[in-house]
Structure 1
Amino acid sequence: MTSRIPTLDIRRFTDPQSPADRDAFVAELGAAYRQWGFAGINGHGIAQDEIDAAYAAFKAFFALPEDTKKKYHVPGSGGARGYTPFGVETAKGSKHFDLKEFWHIGREIPDDSQYRDVMPPNLWPEEVPEFREHGYRLYQRLDALGSQVLSALALHIGLPEHFFADKTDNGNSILRPIHYPPITADDIPNVRAGAHGDINFITLLVGASAAGLEVQSHDGEWVPFTSDADTIVVNIGDMLQRLTNHVYPSTIHRVVNPPGEQARKPRYSVPFFLHPNPDFLIDVLPMTITDDNPSRYPEPITAHGFLEERLREIKLK
């Protein structure tokens, strides 16, 4: 992994050898996000065999015939649950659609939940019965890890450690298995994922099967960020950038097409998009407003309102 974007062991936070080391982890993580909006996290405790089992189930689904996969596409839903076919999602401001297909797994909530009208039930492919078990287990693991990262960030910015706990416990978070098919034509204008910032609080990317992720530095340089097998890449999304008045930047990133014969191979990745509860009001935190950094967002917006706005911009709605 490139040494420019830090990788940190989260056990220094969850099971520290000393209070000083825990404080140092918080400081180092906060500094990484202030500079890059990205960091690698290892020591997370998610077993490799769990990740491998989930990937195997996801690959089995994407290998199904197109007509079978499209049974699980829900037109007009913004891809909230189930399958989104190849050639639909388009990065904000891009002229060309991304070269990918994907599935969305959401939070399991009871039908009488106050959020049921904006968080529909999950769909599960009957052709791959293990998809549900392994997919939702990975969802829960990444949800828990994301909460730990948010706790450290809360401390770094001057909030109580568990500030985010009751604001994300019913978050409209999404696990997105992605398949980037082999690229069979040269000189196409499309890329696997166009330059974009994520919508949510934070994103956790587990086990990308090939290189391609690039992060844009403050001076505009594209920096490759390919993680080791035991590292989960975690980046800031637009909602947290807005809440923190850009103290934590939502960094633009992309997935580029590999050169030569590597382009003829498929790529799989599984990001987890951690969202706040739909009715959470994204209002700039007072401690992030200074003379040098006045409030950039005088009007608050709910997390669901923000999400709907962005889904239209990226052509999922």
Structure 2
Amino acid sequence: MSGQIPVVDFSAYSLDNKNVNEVELQALTDELMHAFTTVGFVYLKNTGISSSKVYDTFDVADKFYLQPETVKEKYSRPLDKTAERHGWMALERENLSLIGQSRPNDLKECFNVMPPLSEGQTWPAEVPEFEPVMMDFFNSCHELAMRLLEIIGRGLAIKDVDSFLGKFKNVGKGGNGTNLRSLRYPPVPEVVKENQVRCGEHTDFGCLSLLFQDNPGLEVVNLEGEYVPARPIPDTTLVNIADTLQRWSADKLKSTRHRVVMPDSEEERRRVRRSLAFFCHCDSDAELRCLDGSDKYQSLLAREYINERINATYLSG
């Protein structure tokens, strides 16, 4: 356990595993479902995504973030609130704090990778390796997410797991909001705004999120409703359930609040914090009818639900 977040060995269904054992897969399913129905977060080790691959992706993202502001502005993400979009977001442009909390905008910058690119959107020409490295990482995360969704389908006793997985067929192809977000949290300035944090308290919108991080700062709400650190553990992927899947599962799966706070120690405040977050969404036209056959929530399309969630979030220009 790390605080109250379990650490689970994913070897039984690792991306490298070519000989899946049914008994081991069922044991893994039981472990993961316990985590996803209680705290909503889990650390996975032995996923098949190596630390060297994660850090290579961090390093390529850094090459973009170190470009002049005038260069980065060419790749700015549109400021509308209708959907997740490809592109860069400047420092303090976004505020993820939940409604009812008055905070300055988040002390971070980020780049959303969301294939296929819309008309007028481009990859950073100044960093030619940015596209191939980011897309390779996107594809690895996609493969891992699909394995996790298959396990969740089994764990929820969905009669037709293949049909459930078919609701994710457009990942990376359009008509689906899945995106890979690179985030850079700069060293904390000498003077910060009152109540400012690196990333405000929020839950994720989609179905499933994968997180890779290099320095502390992330905090997650535990079973007692208190924030606890979710520190980086070497060679692990931190996975959490997101809002769409909680609703779709009739609240059997738990989407948990989390945030990134300012470091306490002077040493940590001087450090850059980097993370990569893969936000896996179902297809925009997927019908969110409760997977257990209940009528706990009215059926609606995924894009309708996501738009509701986005419009309830502070996104600032």
Secondary structure at 1:164's aligned position in 2?
helix
- Are 1:23 and 2:23 matched, yes or no? no
The equivalent of 1:33 in structure 2 is 36
Question: Does the 8 A contact of 2:4 with 2:39 survive in 1?
Answer: no
CA deviations 1:237-264 (Å, max 9, x no partner) are 0000000111001001111110131112
CA distance in 2, matches of 1:242, 1:120: 32
1:103 aligns with one of 111, 117, 125 = 111
- Are 1:47 and 2:54 matched, yes or no? no
The offset of 1:218, in angstroms, is 2.7
Question: Does the 8 A contact of 2:78 with 2:85 survive in 1?
Answer: no
Q: Tell me the TM-score normalized by structure 2.
A: 0.88
The equivalent of 2:149 in structure 1 is 150
CA distance in 2, matches of 1:120, 1:213: 35
Secondary structure at 1:241's aligned position in 2?
helix
CA distance in 2, matches of 1:251, 1:226: 16
The one-letter code matched in structure 2 to 1:203 is: S
Secondary structure at 1:72's aligned position in 2?
coil
Question: Does the 8 A contact of 1:40 with 1:231 survive in 2?
Answer: yes
CA distance in 2, matches of 1:308, 1:276: 14
CA deviations 1:127-162 (Å, max 9, x no partner) are 111110100100000011000001111101101443
The equivalent of 1:252 in structure 2 is 257
The one-letter code matched in structure 1 to 2:63 is: A
Query: Cα distance 1:273–1:120, how it changes in 2: closer, same or farther (>3 A)?
Result: farther
Query: Cα distance 1:188–1:264, how it changes in 2: closer, same or farther (>3 A)?
Result: farther
CA distance in 2, matches of 1:224, 1:213: 6
Greater displacement, 143-152 / 79-88: 79-88
Question: Does the 8 A contact of 2:5 with 2:42 survive in 1?
Answer: yes
The equivalent of 2:4 in structure 1 is 4
Secondary structure at 1:234's aligned position in 2?
strand
Secondary structure at 2:263's aligned position in 1?
coil
The equivalent of 1:65 in structure 2 is 68
Question: Does the 8 A contact of 2:214 with 2:232 survive in 1?
Answer: no
The one-letter code matched in structure 2 to 1:153 is: I
Alignment size in residue pairs: 300
Secondary structure at 1:155's aligned position in 2?
helix
Query: Cα distance 1:122–1:143, how it changes in 2: closer, same or farther (>3 A)?
Result: farther
The equivalent of 1:303 in structure 2 is 302
Secondary structure at 1:177's aligned position in 2?
strand
Greater displacement, 55-64 / 300-309: 300-309
CA deviations 1:198-248 (Å, max 9, x no partner) are 000000002x11101111023212121123221000100000000011100
1:216 aligns with one of 204, 221, 229 = 221
Query: What is the correspondence of 1:62-101 to structure 2 with a 5 Å cutoff?
Result: 62-78=65-81, 80-91=85-96, 92-93=98-99, 94-96=101-103, 97-101=105-109
**Contiguous gaps of at least 5 residues in structure 1:** 110-118, 290-294
The one-letter code matched in structure 2 to 1:95 is: S
Query: Cα distance 1:84–1:186, how it changes in 2: closer, same or farther (>3 A)?
Result: closer
Secondary structure at 1:108's aligned position in 2?
coil
CA deviations 1:85-122 (Å, max 9, x no partner) are 1212212313222111111111338xxxxxxxxx6685
Query: What is the correspondence of 1:101-140 to structure 2 with a 5 Å cutoff?
Result: 101-108=109-116, 123-140=122-139
The one-letter code matched in structure 1 to 2:134 is: G
2:245 aligns with one of 230, 234, 240 = 240
CA distance in 2, matches of 1:308, 1:17: 38
- Are 1:182 and 2:190 matched, yes or no? no
The offset of 1:77, in angstroms, is 4.1
CA distance in 2, matches of 1:269, 1:172: 19
Question: Does the 8 A contact of 1:199 with 1:310 survive in 2?
Answer: yes
The one-letter code matched in structure 1 to 2:200 is: G
Cα RMSD of the aligned pairs, angstroms, is 2.1
Q: Tell me the TM-score normalized by structure 1.
A: 0.88
Identity across matched positions, percent: 29
1:229 aligns with one of 225, 234, 238 = 234
Question: Does the 8 A contact of 2:3 with 2:228 survive in 1?
Answer: no
- Are 1:198 and 2:194 matched, yes or no? no
CA distance in 1, matches of 2:75, 2:192: 31
